[in-house]
Structures are given as C-alpha cells and as structure tokens.
Amino acid sequence: MFAPDAGDPIGVTRVPRRPPMLAPIDTADLIKAQLMTRLQETLNQMPLSLPGGFVSLTLELPHLPGAAPALPAPHFLFSHAHREELRAGYGIAAEWRAAGPDRLRRLRAQALRLKGHWHQYDPDETGLEGFFLLGFAAAPGAAAPDPGEAAPRGLPDALLWLPEVALRHRGGQAALVLTTALPADVSEVLDRWSAWLDRLVPPLCSGAPGPLTPASLERRWAQPDREGWGLGVTAALEAIASGRLDKVVLARRLCVRGRRPFDLERLVAALAYLFPTCQVVKVHRDGQCLVAATPERLLAQRGNMVEVDAIAGTAARAAGSAPDAALGEALRSSPKELHEHALVAESLCAALAPYSRRLDVPPRPRLLRLNNAQHLWTPIRAELAPGLDALVLADLLHPTPATNGQPSAAARAWLRRVEPQGRGWYTGAAGCLDQNLSGELWVLLRCAEIDGDTALLHAGAGIVAGSDPESEWGETEHKLAAMLTALQFA
C-alpha cells in the first residue's frame, strides 16, 4: 500500500509522481553565481571582527527547492507537506549538550547567553532567519561524563544545535541562512560559505527522488516478543488495579532488514507523501540516523501563545467510508479510549494552568485520521504569563501521559524497572527554535533508526484499565506499519 493519509481510500495502491523540477539542473551555476554576488556584496558589511557570538546571513533562493539534500555532513530536517514548510540544517556552527534531570534548564541557560550576541542579516527582507535544533531523549540519562571521558555512542541526552547552513522553505519563499562564529576572517568565511553553496545548490535544483520498486522487508527480531509483551501488559494492569498507576505506556522495538541499503532521501519523500499532515523528522550525525513521521506536537509557541496536542486513543482504518466512519464513532464513544485520552488532556491542562492567563480546551476530542490509524485528538491553546519560552514549556510538559503514563513520576519509575529496552530519542522530542527560544517541538513517534540496510523501529501503546494484550499488540502493529510501508519504497 502506498496511499496518502488523506483523500484516498485506505488500501488503494498509489505511487507518488515525481514533483516537477522547479529549477532545472543546468541553472545551478546561474543560481550559485547569483548567491555568490549577494554574499560578496554583504559580507564586508557584517561585524566579523566582534570578539564573540555569531552572525548569520540570509540569502533568498530564486527557485523553490525540490527537496532537502542528504549530504554526508551532519544534518537534520523537519518537513511538513500539508503546511508547505521545510527546515533543514547542515554542518555545525555550534552545539551544546546536557544530560541528567536538569538538561533542558542547562541548555536554556546557554542559549540565553547568546541574546544580543547572535546578529542576523537579511538583506532581501525575507523574514527567514536562522534557528536552533533542540532534541532530547525520552528520559534523562546519567549526568554528563567527566571532561576527557569518551561520550557514549548515539544521539546525546539533550542537544541544542546551531547549523552552519540552514535551509528554510515556507509557502512560496525559500532561503539559505549561513552562520559563523565570531570573530571570523572575511576571506576564510567567504571560502567556507562558497564551498557550502557548491555542495548544496546542485541538489537543491533537482526534484525529490521518486520511489524505488517496492522491496520486501525481513523481520529479524522484536523486543519484547509477543509473549513478553503479554507479560508486560499483565504487569501494567496489576499496577493499575492496585492504584499505583492510572496509565502506563509500553513500547516495543522491531528490527527489519531490507534487500538494499535504505535510501534516506527516498524514505523522507515517501513519508511526506504518505503522511502529509505529519511532521517528518530526520537527524543524521555521529553515525546515527533517526527518522520519524509524527502526528503529535509537544508544543508550538509564539510570543505569549502556545498550542499543545493531546493525542491518545487509537483505532484502525477501514477500506470503505462507512466502515471507516463506524470505527471512528466507536473510538469516540469507547469509555476505555475516552478515559485514556482524558488522562492526557487533563495532565497537559494541569501543567499549563499555573503559567497561563487563559486556557481554551474543546469540550470533546476530535478525530485525527492518518493513513494507517485514527486517534482521539484535543488541541489545547493557552495564553501564557510573561517570561516563558519553548525550553521552559518543554520541561513542564514532557513526558506527557501519551508516551509515559500517569502519574508521571510513578509511571517513569515503573518503566525503568519493567521495560526491557531503552528508548533513546523515541518518545523524546525535537524541533526548531528561533533565537528568542520560540518555536515548535514534536514528540518523536513512528520512529526508525537507520543503519545501512537495517532499521530499528519503535512503537508503543497506552495501557489503562480494560486494556487487552492482543488488542494493544495490534495497535503497535498499526503504528509500525507507517514506517514499514515507507521503508519498502526506499
């Protein structure tokens, strides 16, 4: 099956058409020349001799990019097809890492030191400025290692990453944002940024790659296996019956191997086509590549307003409109699913209420329909008291009962004892923040860690009173199907 998450009947096989080339490849030299002219005109006006901080230059692209290229350099991507938004970052102008329970507070303190020391130049008045990537794991790890001690392999516990080159595409406008640390030598910066243009402009002038012929995947192992999953659900139900927990979210991992190394550009394109209302995420660095297609925002904050998504309660999709609608109505009227959803919505409201002047909460959850599943969804909007930013809010909201459980501390402690595998960044969060620390963070769901021809997929299910091990296993299979389908075309 290869069908988008809206507009086509479930089960209809469709292969996405290659988008038109908005800028033919033979125009790459012309575009590079135009960008170099703007770069040389502006570079001498920039305060490169300042003793510290950063400076960024925004260069408007004369053509919209067909896709964000996958380069060998460390890079990340956030793509939302329905909103026609794309952000990508390449290279590392600066980064800050933190571990332990205070990880986000420490990163925030570092980011605040940049206020007034990150200078942005936008000569074309695009309004598209530089940004950070913020990403963090599901649970705080151990405190940071001593200086000189080797860092553990894998994505760090929490990371604030300022890319050397950022790509932004919003609606009908696109730009590259080039960033350097200060002080900097003019000729050295010109050479370095020119080299980035050489690497980025040709692939930016090409369309997104089309899907490959679908290939089968070999399921190698699952952790826990089906028997272990049943034991875990039974243990969770016992903890709920005893009153220690109201809900806990169990996760599982599935390792699959393809017949060829997975093509990451095609994987991203397939996910964007299949799930246009989801945020597609890719983080590639330190020998690790995490890819996700997530429907759930942790938060979207602009000024004194924030929106968060309460998503919990899941049903499958059906091939016909009438059966599909019946599944949705059954989901909206299920006491068990409504109870699970209410735990999430109430927890988010309780976290925001002390810091909000006003909370807007719809009286009933809506249905969020994706290609392979439908969920109960309550979008919550709050007007914030002064002084809050996305890092403060992330610390307040994460983890939500949608990915952890309720009560939060008790659920996390229970999972540390019972869940056999670590989650890494799965059910953590990642997103882009501007220099004022406003922005958008997404809960990392429907994830896969890609290594050549091998992919390690993650999915979970919320356990509440009335949960059944077989039904919850089936829910995780529906969630895994999102990435499994895309991997076949990559």
In tens, the pLDDT along 227-236 reads 999 999 999 9
What lies within 8 Å, CB to CB, of 427 at 6+ separation is 138, 249, 251, 399, 403, 404, 443, 444, 445, 458, 460
When pLDDT is averaged across residues 136-161 and rounded to a whole number, the result is 69
Q: How high is the pLDDT of residue 26?
A: 64
Helix (H, G, I), strand (E, B) or coil at 226: helix
The CATH architecture to which 220-260+288-488 belongs is 4-Layer Sandwich (3.60)
What does the mean pLDDT of the chain come to? 90
Indicate if the pLDDT at residue 51 is higher than 70: yes
Spatial separation of the C-alpha atoms in residues 474 and 459, rounded to whole Å: 11
Q: How high is the pLDDT of residue 24?
A: 44
* DSSP annotation of 181: E
% of the chain with per-residue pLDDT over 70: 92
pTM of the model: 0.90
Q: How confident is the model at residue 153 (pLDDT cuts 50, 70, 90)?
A: low
Q: Which amino acid is it at 168?
A: R
What lies within 8 Å, CB to CB, of 267 at 6+ separation is 291, 450, 486, 487, 489, 490
Contact 379, 309 (CB under 8 A): yes
208 closest CA partner among 33, 65, 380:
65
Q: What is the number of other CB atoms lying within 10 angstroms of the CB of residue 399?
A: 21
- Token digits of residue 486: 């895309």
Q: How confident is the model at residue 65 (pLDDT cuts 50, 70, 90)?
A: confident
pLDDT in tens, 191-249: 999 999 999 999 998 877 777 888 999 999 999 999 999 999 999 999 999 999 999 99
Give all strands (DSSP E) within 258-333, no chain letters: 279-285, 288-294, 297-302, 305-315
What lies within 8 Å, CB to CB, of 145 at 6+ separation is 151, 152
* DSSP annotation of 116: T
pLDDT in tens, 399-430: 999 999 999 999 999 999 998 778 999 999 99
Terminal alpha carbon distance of the chain:
14
Q: CATH 3.60.120.10 residue ranges in the chain?
A: 220-260+288-488
For the annotated catalytic residues, the residue numbers are: 247, 296
When pLDDT is averaged across residues 465-488 and rounded to a whole number, the result is 94
Residue 322 or 391, more confident? 391
